[in-house]
C-alpha cells in the first residue's frame, strides 16, 4: 500500500477501491466473531473456500469473513449478497448447497432461514428478522460488511471520511464543541459527557497529553467492546485520532484485556495498516498532525477497568486505583493530562463528525443521546449483541428483540451494569433505557451487559455470585472494599446455605452503606449494588431463605431435597449410574429381572443434580 498524503489522495484511493467492487456481484459474508467461532464458523469458512475453489474463476464469487453480526444465538451466520439472504446455524455441509442454489441460481434454502417463533413464517432478509428490526445499528451495522483485517473494506463503507473533515475543515475547539453539542456520554458505564472531558484535558496545564481507549471490558456477560474491536477496529481508531487532534495529544494507548486475543490481534493489524497508509504516525494526511497508538494488554484483573488502575497498569505497576481528588484529565498517565474513553464512545465520534451533532441528538432521549450496544444474554431466546436508540423500553428489548424467555418461563428481572449495577424487576419493565432512568431505579447503564433472569433464577444466589466476583477482583488495598465484600459474601453464603438469621439483612445493608461510602474507588463504591438492589426488590425471597430455609427458585443446593417419584420412574437406572457418591439404591429393570425401586439416600446426597439431569422421564423431583 502506498502512503496517502492528502485528503484528495484518500478520496482517490477510496474511489479506486470502490471501482473494483461491483455491488451486483455475488458476495458471501460469514460472521467471524468469537461467538461464531465457538459454534464452528472456522470449519464453515473452510468448507466455503473449498467449494469456491471450483467456481471462483468462472463466476467471480467473493468470500468475506467479517466481524460479529450480533445474532450470536443463531451462529454460524452467513449472508448472501446482493440479495441479502440471511442463513443461520449454517453447517460446513451446507456450503455447497448455498453456493449452488442461492448464489448461482438465486434460490433460497428454506431450512437455513430464520423461522419466526410464533408464526412459523420463514424470513429471508436480514433486516426483516425480528431480532434486527427494532435495532438501530448505526455503530455496529458495518461489522457485517467488513473484514476487520482489511482497511480497504472500512474505506469502502465510508470509513475515514470524518478524519480528513476534522483535520482540515475543523479546529480542535470546534470538534470539542460538536461533541459537546451531541451530548455524547461515556459508554463505559460512567456516562460522563465526553466533550466536557475532552475540553478539560485540552485545557489542563502541560505539554504532553495522552488519549486512552479502555477495552478492558471486565463485566461478565458483556462483550460489546470485544465485538466492536474485533469486527471494526478502524471505527475506534478513527475516533481516537479525531479526539487526539481535538485534545492536542500525540500518543495514545488501546488497553485490551488479556482474555481477548483476537481483539488484540485485529487492533494491531488495523494500526499497522493505518500507519502504512499514512492515517497514523507523522503528518497524517499531510495535515501536520502526528499521532501514534500502542496496544497495551491487560493481565487478567477486572479492577484494571478503573481508569487510575488502568493507567497504573500501563505504567508497569499493579492495577491499584488511587484517589481521584485530582482528576486524570489533569494528572493521569505518568502524571500527565490523560483522556480515557470506552471503545464504544470512541466509535461514536466519526459518526458525530460526519453527520453532525444535530442529526445525532435526534436519536435518544433528552439526557441520553445516540444509541447503545447491549449484550442481551441469559434467560432469553435471542442471545446476542443489540444496538438500540436510548429510550427504548426494557420490554421491547427483552421481548421484541430478545424474543422473550425460553421455555415460556416467567420473566423475573434484568441485571444491568454488571457487578456495579442492579437488578430491575418486572414492575419496571416498561422503563425507558437511559443513563438517568436506570440510575433512578437503583441500577446503572454500565458498559451494556443486560442479563435476563427468569423464575428459575435465585436472586439471593445472584447477589452472592456478584459479591464473590467482586471479592476476588478487589485489589485488596482498602479495608472497606476488601473486608466489606468479603463479609457481605460470607453473610450471603450463610443465607444460601440455610444459616441465615434475622439480623443478616440489616447487617448487609449497613455493610453495604459503609462499603459504598468509605471505599477508595468505584469497584468498592458500587460493589454492594447487586446485593442492595436485590434486597430492595426481592426482600421476600431473602426472607424465604432466612426464615423458612427454602429457595423458591430451586437453586441454593443446601436448601433442596431430591426425590425419585416412584410412580413415574421407569427403573432405567440412569440416575444411579450418574450419581457420583452412590447415594441411589435400587436395581435396573432388565429383560430377565423385574428390578428394585430407586431411592435417594438423603444422608449421602450432595445435591449435585446429576440424577435430575440424567433422568429422561422427569422422575426426579427437586424441592
Task: Report in angstroms how near the CB of residue 611 gets to other proteins at its nearest.
Answer: 10
Indicate the burial class of 503 (C-beta count within 10 angstroms; 0-12, 13-18, 19 or more). Answer: exposed
Of 27 and 72, which CB lies nearer to other proteins in the complex structure? Answer: 72
The distance of closest approach from Cβ of residue 318 to other proteins in the complex, given in angstroms and rounded to an integer, is: 4
Strand ranges inside 324-448, DSSP E: 338-342, 371-378, 384-389, 411-416, 422-425
And the C-alpha cell for 223?
462483550
Beta strands in 321-435 (DSSP E): 338-342, 371-378, 384-389, 411-416, 422-425
CA–centroid distance for 141 within its chain: 15
DSSP run (H or E) holding 269: helix 261-277
CB 451 to other proteins: min, Å: 5
Shortest Å, Cβ 291 to other proteins: 19
Element (H, E) at 622: strand 620-622
Cα distance between residue 341 and residue 179, in whole Å: 13
| In the complex, least distance from residue 9 CB atom to other proteins, rounded to whole angstroms | 32
Q: How close are the terminal C-alpha atoms of the chain, in Å?
A: 66
- Cβ proximity to other proteins: between 279 and 467 the closer is 467
The smaller minimum CB distance to other proteins, of residues 72 and 279, is found at 72
Instruction: Using CA atoms of 382, 386, 389, 391 in order, give the dihedral in degrees to the nearest 10.
Output: 50
Residue 408 burial (10 A CB sphere; 0-12, 13-18, 19+): exposed
Cβ distance to other proteins smaller for residue 27 or 520 = 520
155/467 with CB nearer other proteins: 467
To other proteins, the closest distance from the beta carbon of 350 in angstroms equals 24
> Would you call 358 helix, strand, or coil by DSSP?
helix
Q: Omega before 496 cis (within 30°)? A: no
Any alpha helices (H) in 204-259, and if so which ranges?
Answer: 224-231, 233-247
Minimum CB separation of residue 299 from other proteins in Å reads 3
User: Cell 442461492 identifies what position?
Assistant: 102
Least distance to other proteins, CB of residue 50, Å: 22
- Going by their DSSP bridges, the two strands 251-256 and 371-378 should be labelled as unpaired
- Compute the least distance from the CB of residue 601 to other proteins, in Å: 18
Q: How far apart are the C-alpha atoms of 126 and 219, rounded to whole Å?
A: 29
Minimum Å gap between C-beta 351 and other proteins is 24
Nearer to other proteins by C-beta: 157 or 518? 518
Rank residues 290 and 315 by Cβ distance to other proteins and give the closer one: 315
Taking the complex as a whole, the smallest distance from the CB of residue 617 to other proteins amounts, in Å, to: 15
- Helix (H) or strand (E) run with residue 265 in it: helix 261-277
In contact, 107 and 373? CB cutoff 8 Å: no
Count other C-beta atoms under 10 Å from residue 27's C-beta: 19
Instruction: Please name the residue that has the C-alpha cell 497514523.
Output: 280
Beta bridge partners of 154: none
User: 584-587 and 596-600: which strand pairing?
Assistant: antiparallel
- Closer to other proteins by Cβ: residue 31 or 63: 31
Spatial CA neighbour of 235 closest among 127, 136, 375, 352: 352
Question: Which cell goes with 247?
Answer: 485534545
> Taking the complex as a whole, how short is the minimal distance between the CB of residue 56 and other proteins, in angstroms?
30
Name which of 238 and 541 has its Cβ closer to other proteins. Answer: 541
Q: Which is nearer to other proteins, 179 or 453 (CB)?
A: 453
Give the nearer residue to other proteins in terms of CB position, either 194 or 311. 311
Give the Cα separation of 480 and 339 in Å (integer): 28
Residue among 112 and 488 whose Cβ is closer to other proteins: 488
- DSSP for 54-79 reads HHHHHH--EEEEES--S-GGG-S-EE
Amino acid at each position: 500500500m502506498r502512503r496517502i498524503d492528502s485528503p484528495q489522495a484518500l478520496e482517490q484511493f477510496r474511489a479506486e477501491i470502490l471501482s473494483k467492487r461491483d455491488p451486483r456481484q455475488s458476495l458471501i459474508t460469514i460472521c467471524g466473531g468469537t461467538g461464531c467461532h465457538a459454534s464452528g464458523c472456522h470449519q464453515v469458512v473452510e468448507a466455503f473456500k473449498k467449494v469456491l475453489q471450483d467456481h471462483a474463476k468462472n463466476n467471480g464469487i467473493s468470500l468475506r469473513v467479517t466481524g460479529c453480526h450480533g445474532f450470536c444465538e443463531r451462529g454460524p451466520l452467513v449472508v448472501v449478497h446482493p440479495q441479502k439472504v440471511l442463513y443461520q446455524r449454517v453447517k460446513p455441509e451446507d456450503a455447497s448447497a448455498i453456493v449452488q442454489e442461492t448464489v448461482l441460481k438465486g434460490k433460497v434454502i428454506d431450512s437455513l432461514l430464520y423461522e419466526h417463533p410464533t408464526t412459523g413464517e420463514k424470513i429471508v432478509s436480514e433486516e426483516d428478522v425480528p431480532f434486527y428490526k427494532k435495532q438501530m445499528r448505526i455503530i455496529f451495522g458495518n461489522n457485517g460488511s467488513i473484514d476487520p483485517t482489511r482497511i480497504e473494506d472500512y474505506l469502502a463503507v465510508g470509513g475515514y471520511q470524518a478524519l480528513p473533515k476534522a483535520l482540515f475543515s475543523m479546529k480542535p475547539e470546534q470538534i470539542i464543541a460538536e461533541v459537546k453539542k451531541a451530548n455524547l456520554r461515556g459508554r463505559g458505564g460512567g456516562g460522563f459527557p465526553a466533550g466536557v472531558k475532552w475540553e478539560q484535558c485540552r485545557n489542563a496545564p502541560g505539554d504532553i497529553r495522552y488519549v486512552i481507549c479502555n477495552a478492558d471490558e471486565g463485566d461478565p456477560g458483556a462483550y460489546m467492546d470485544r465485538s466492536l474491536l474485533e469486527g471494526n477496529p478502524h471505527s475506534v481508531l478513527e475516533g481516537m485520532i479525531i479526539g487526539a487532534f481535538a485534545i492536542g495529544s500525540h500518543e495514545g494507548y488501546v488497553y485490551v484485556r488479556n482474555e481477548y486475543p483476537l481483539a488484540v490481534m485485529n487492533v494491531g493489524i488495523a494500526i499497522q495498516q493505518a500507519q502504512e497508509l499514512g492515517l497514523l504516525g507523522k503528518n497524517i494526511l499531510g495535515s501536520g498532525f502526528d499521532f501514534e497508538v500502542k496496544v497495551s494488554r491487560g493481565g487478567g484483573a477486572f479492577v484494571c477497568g478503573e481508569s487510575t488502575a488502568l493507567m497504573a497498569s500501563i505504567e508497569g505497576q499493579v492495577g491499584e486505583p488511587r484517589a481521584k481528588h485530582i482528576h486524570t484529565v489533569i494528572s493521569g498517565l505518568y502524571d500527565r493530562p490523560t483522556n480515557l474513553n470506552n471503545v464504544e464512545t470512541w466509535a461514536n465520534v466519526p459518526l458525530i463528525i460526519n453527520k453532525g451533532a444535530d442529526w445525532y441528538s435526534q436519536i435518544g432521549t433528552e439526557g441520553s443521546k445516540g444509541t447503545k450496544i447491549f449484550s442481551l444474554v441469559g434467560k432469553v431466546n435471542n442471545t446476542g449483541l443489540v444496538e438500540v436508540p436510548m429510550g427504548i423500553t426494557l420490554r421491547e428489548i427483552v421481548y421484541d428483540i430478545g424474543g422473550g424467555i425460553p421455555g415460556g418461563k416467567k420473566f423475573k428481572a434484568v441485571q444491568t451494569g454488571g457487578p456495579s449495577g442492579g437488578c430491575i424487576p418486572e414492575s419496571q419493565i416498561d422503563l425507558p433505557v437511559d443513563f438517568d432512568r436506570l440510575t433512578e431505579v437503583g441500577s446503572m447503564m454500565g458498559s451494556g451487559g443486560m442479563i435476563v433472569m427468569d423464575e428459575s433464577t435465585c436472586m439471593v444466589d445472584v447477589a452472592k455470585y456478584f459479591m464473590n466476583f467482586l471479592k476476588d477482583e478487589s485489589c485488596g488495598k482498602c479495608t472497606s472494599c476488601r473486608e466489606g465484600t468479603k463479609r457481605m459474601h460470607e453473610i450471603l453464603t450463610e443465607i444460601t446455605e440455610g444459616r441465615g438469621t434475622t439480623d443478616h439483612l440489616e447487617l448487609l445493608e449497613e455493610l453495604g452503606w459503609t462499603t459504598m461510602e468509605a471505599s477508595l474507588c468505584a469497584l468498592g463504591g458500587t460493589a454492594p449494588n447487586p446485593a442492595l438492589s436485590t434486597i430492595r426488590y426481592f426482600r421476600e425471597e431473602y426472607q424465604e431463605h432466612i426464615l423458612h430455609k427454602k429457595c423458591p427458585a430451586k437453586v441454593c443446593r443446601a436448601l433442596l431435597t431430591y426425590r425419585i417419584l416412584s410412580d413415574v420412574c421407569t427403573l432405567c437406572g440412569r440416575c444411579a449410574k450418574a450419581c457420583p457418591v452412590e447415594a441411589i439404591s435400587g436395581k435396573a429393570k432388565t429383560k430377565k429381572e423385574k428390578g428394585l425401586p430407586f431411592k435417594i439416600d438423603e444422608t449421602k446426597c450432595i445435591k449435585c443434580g446429576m440424577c435430575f439431569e440424567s433422568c429422561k422421564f422427569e422422575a426426579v423431583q427437586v424441592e
